[in-house]
Amino acid sequence: MKSSNMLQKMPRRKTLFWDVDPKTINPKKHARYVIERIMDFGTDKEARWMWQTYSHTLLVDVAKQSRSLRDKTRLLWLALSKT
């Protein structure tokens, strides 16, 4: 995980985190949850934030192991991780 300034700028869009109060999400503690949501439903801006905040190793790991990601999403992020 990168700088704490990046953590403060975490996307907290209610439609991205519809099942929880976005204010209660800790981007370090709930990293996999945040990554899955942004991979599947995030905007370009949110995806850039994620790419700059989390290690690419973690992003690839989530893309490979997540049971909630859609197949097309998984394939996209695995292809992007190779570039």
Measured distance CA(51)–CA(12) in Å, rounded? 16
What pLDDT score does 3 carry?
Answer: 57
Give the number of other Cβ atoms within 10 Å of residue 78's Cβ.
13
Residue-wise pLDDT tens digits, 5-35: 666 688 899 999 999 999 999 999 999 999 9
Q: Is 50:27 a contact under the CB 8 Å cutoff? A: no
The position carrying tokens 């570039």 is 83
Where are the domains positioned within the chain?
A: 4-81
Q: pLDDT class for 1, splitting at 50, 70, 90? A: low
Closest CA to 37 of 54, 21, 22, 17: 17
pTM beyond 0.85: the answer is yes
Measured distance CA(59)–CA(77) in Å, rounded? 8
The position carrying tokens 């992020």 is 77
